[in-house]
Amino acid sequence: MSSTAVEIPGYLAGTWTIDPGHSEVAFTVHMMMVGKVRGHFTRFRGELVLAADPLASMVTATIESDSIDTNNRRRDHHLRSADFLDVQAHPRMAYRSTGIRHGGHGFVVDGELTLHGVTRQVPLLLDVNGFTRDSGGGIRAGFSATAEVNRVDFGIGTSIPMGGSGVAIGDWVQISIEIQAVLAKPQPAAA
């Protein structure tokens, strides 16, 4: 185990599966220049492969685009349409890490987000929340991540002008991710 791994209490290398029942993929976007709309996706899956050296770890995840939920059925239907996510043509979005590095008070996961048929680099600011045993005897890990994407970079949505200056929906979308992962396969001990 590298000296980097020692800095993370309880760190355990291995293959981890995201537990969607204890995780959340959420977003916030400005609307009408005076407020924010918050939402989340209800169906997603992913895998983390934590290496003995955390900086060599990898993550992959997919999100079902039609699982968007903003607590407003009419708005959700519009967001699923060709005006925005176009879930018929692009049923899933995917994230694949390309590297991990130290950053600020945590880590930065460099990676590629494929959304609406477009792939762009999107770094995630990552905090490792910890590792523990659950009540069923399994081992869990917790992570929090944030990012910001410009929906226009992915060809999503139109700018709906408002009276005066400004648009009804902001271009920048803040992403907030809370992950609990379950250890599926520990890394074999070094010989």
Summarize pLDDT for 148-172 with one digit per residue, the tens: 999 989 988 765 544 555 446 778 8
Within-domain flag for 68: yes
Question: What is the extent of the structural domain holding 134?
Answer: 3-186
Within-domain flag for 79: yes
Within-domain flag for 131: yes
Within-domain flag for 46: yes
Positive or negative, the CA dihedral 80, 77, 63, 172 is positive
The predicted pLDDT at position 70 comes to 95
Residue 152: give its domain's CATH number.
Answer: 2.40.128.110
CA distances from 7 to 65, 84, 89, 105 (A): 36, 42, 44, 12
The predicted pLDDT at position 25 comes to 98
Within-domain flag for 191: no
Summarize pLDDT for 88-131 with one digit per residue, the tens: 999 999 999 999 999 878 899 999 999 999 999 999 999 999 99
Within-domain flag for 7: yes
Which residue's entry shows tokens 């396969």?
185
| Number of domains present in the structure of the chain | 1
Summarize pLDDT for 49-61 with one digit per residue, the tens: 999 999 999 999 9
Q: Is the pLDDT of residue 2 over 60?
A: no
Within-domain flag for 76: yes
